[in-house]
Amino acid sequence: METRRIGSLEVSVVGLGCNNFGRRLDFDATSAVVDAALEAGIAFFDTADVYGGTRSEEYLGRALGRRREEVVLATKFGSRIDEQRRGARPEYVHRAVDDSLRRLGTDRIDLYQLHRPDREVPIGETLGALDELVKAGKVREIGCSNFSADQLREAEEARRDGAARFVGVQNEYSLLHREPEQDVLPECERREIAFIPYFPLANGLLTGKYRRGQAAPAGSRLDSGRGERLLTHRNLAVVERLIEFSESRRRTILELAFSWLLRRPAVASVIAGATSPEQARSNAAAAGWDLADGELAEVDSILTHKD
């Protein structure tokens, strides 16, 4: 699989998001997904201390086992686990990384990310603590998630000379959620920050299993009223046109969803979750469509069409 860089880290252009581990998947099912991902060439695994009530990190570490050295391992901190374990205070940063290292069964985290901004803590204080982790060898690179362009600039301005800087930002981005194009992606290109899209399939809407005029598949993520925000008339109409566009080129909408994101210069790796080995393999194989400029223009026309 093709690779790109997040700071000094070389990552596969498709990554595995591990938010299902410990929540929707037990350890055996987690292990099967991890095995399939590795076999398919995925070598970038992204989790968070809060996923699965902290079980995601534990399951991922156990599933990787001795193969830990074959992958780039990313996790996040800062979301609320409980009243004591939350936020980005320097003293908590040190506790959080030690907890994650223990659960993951490793001596270092390749990419350690602040899960969301903490408005109660000056970003310079958090960066100072993260720099200490890098100097201690517990972390190789640092990043952030759910940051705006202004917050990225604030972090860069607050960084001490020579200290570790955010080399990646992980925000929601997909064919149906293009907000990062307004300012975050241009900011990433200016500052050479890698962009890591999450929810690239819009909670499954861009897999092709949700179709206009048909009920959501029973038991799916958007079934039972959970998909009201996404299963709108406009979104479903756009999905139908994207499916038609892809099939006219003997491709799938899944391939389009991954490959379209990877045409953005700042995008390093597309993070997608999987609940089965089949999904992991399909995601890994979906990044090989080299979209021509004319095809990108046609997709943009579909996305901006007024119903």
Per-residue pLDDT, 90: 98
pLDDT band, residue 218 (cuts 50/70/90): low
- Position 216 scores a pLDDT of 64
pLDDT tens figures, 88-109: 999 999 999 999 999 999 999 9
Catalytic machinery residues:
51
β-bridge pairing 3-6 and 9-12: antiparallel
pLDDT of residue 230: 78
Query: pLDDT tens-digit profile of 55-91?
Result: 999 999 999 999 999 999 999 999 999 999 999 999 9
Question: What string of H, E and C letters represents the secondary structure of the chain?
Answer: CCEEEECCEEEECEEEECCCECCCECHHHHHHHHHHHHHCCCCEEECCCCHHHHHHHHHHHHHHHHHHHHCEEEEEECCCCCCCCCCCCHHHHHHHHHHHHHHHCCCCEEEEEECCCCCCCCHHHHHHHHHHHHHCCCEEEEEEECCCHHHHHHHHHHCCCCCCCEEEEEEECECCECHHHCCHHHHHHHHCCEEEEECCCHHHHHHCCCCCCCCCCCCCCCCCCCCCCCCCHHHHHHHHHHHHHHHCCCCCHHHHHHHHHHCCCCECCEEEECCCHHHHHHHHHHHCCCCCHHHHHHHHHHHHCCC
Q: What mean pLDDT is predicted for residues 202-210?
A: 88
Query: Span 138-153, mean pLDDT?
Result: 98
pTM to 2 decimal places: 0.93
The predicted-structure confidence for 123-132, as pLDDT tens digits, reads as follows 999 999 999 9
Quick check: 232 pLDDT over 90? no
Instruction: Give residue 221's pLDDT band: very low, low, confident or very high (50, 70, 90).
Output: low
Question: What is the per-residue pLDDT for 217?
Answer: 65
3-203+257-288, CATH topology level: TIM Barrel (3.20.20)
* Confidence category of residue 191, pLDDT binned at 50, 70, 90: very high
- pLDDT at position 225 over 60: no
Q: Say what the pLDDT of residue 233 is.
A: 83
Q: Check residue 134 and give its pLDDT.
A: 98
Mean pLDDT of 137-152: 98
pLDDT by residue (tens digit) across 233-278?
Answer: 888 999 999 999 999 999 999 999 999 999 999 999 999 999 999 9
pLDDT digits 0-9 by tens, 6-43: 999 999 999 999 999 999 999 999 999 999 999 999 99
CA–CA distance from 144 to each of 127, 235, 274 (Å)? 11, 29, 23
